[in-house]
Amino acid sequence: MTTIELVRDKRRFYTLVDGHAGYDDAGRDIVCAGVSALTYALAAGLNDCGVLLKYESGDGREEMYGAGGAARVLFRTFELAVQELARQYPEHVRVNGTVQ
C-alpha cells in the first residue's frame, strides 16, 4: 500500500509518499504510476515556482517541503488528486492528514 502523509504548519507544507501500491506487478502497476506522476508533478511545480524548500527521494519514498501561497495551491491540488486515487483504490492508497 502507498501511504501519503500531508501536513500544513502555518504557511509551510509537507508530504511524504511511501510504499508501493501493490495493485499489479512492478512496472505494470497503474496505481503506483499515478501516484508517482502526481508526486513528480508536485515537485516540479514547487521547483518551478521557487517554493520548494526540500526534496528527498529514494527507496520508494518521496519527501518534500514547500512554503507560501503557490505551495499551498500546488499541495492542495496534489491532495485532491491523491484523495481521488485513494477513493478509487482504497486497498492500495491511503491519505493521512490535510494541507487545507
What is the pLDDT, as a whole number, of residue 26? 86
Residue that wins the pLDDT comparison between 86 and 100: 86
The pLDDT tens digits of the residues spanning 10-60 come to 889 999 999 999 999 988 999 999 999 999 999 999 999 999 999 999 988
**Predicted confidence band at 77 (pLDDT cuts at 50, 70, 90)?**
very high
CB 9 within 8 A of CB 45: no
pTM assigned to the model: 0.95
